[in-house]
Amino acid sequence: MKKVIKKEIKKVDFALGKENYRLLLIGVIIIIIGFILMTGGAVNDPNKFNPEVFSFRRITLAPIVVLFGFIFEIWAIMKKPKDDEE
């Protein structure tokens, strides 16, 4: 008598779908772009003032881009994968 051993191969399900991970990567890139927009305006001499520190790009645009990136990340996590929608 031979015993038949059945091995069940279980499919590993990730918490998020493939599309979600792509969207998360896009969100990280948006956040990095926002932080890059904040850089610059430094002066080597501490006795000099560079008014470029208070430019529109650093004070307004960059924080909005970073905030949008974080909101995009939340949306990417919460988005239901297409495989589960059926």
Is 6 within the bounds of a domain? no
What separation, in Å, do the N-terminal and C-terminal C-alpha atoms of the chain show? 45
Is 13 within the bounds of a domain? no
Residues of the chain with pLDDT under 50: 84-86
Q: Compute the Cα dihedral for 69, 72, 78, 83 and give only its sign.
A: negative
Helical spans, DSSP H, in 12-84 = 18-38, 56, 62-78
Is 69 within the bounds of a domain? yes
For the chain, how many structural domains are there in total?
1
pLDDT of residue 34: 97
pLDDT of residue 85: 45
Is 47 within the bounds of a domain? yes
Please, which residues have CB within 8 angstroms of residue 14's CB and are 6 or more apart in sequence? Answer: none
Domain, as residue range, for 31:
18-81
Predicted model pTM = 0.75
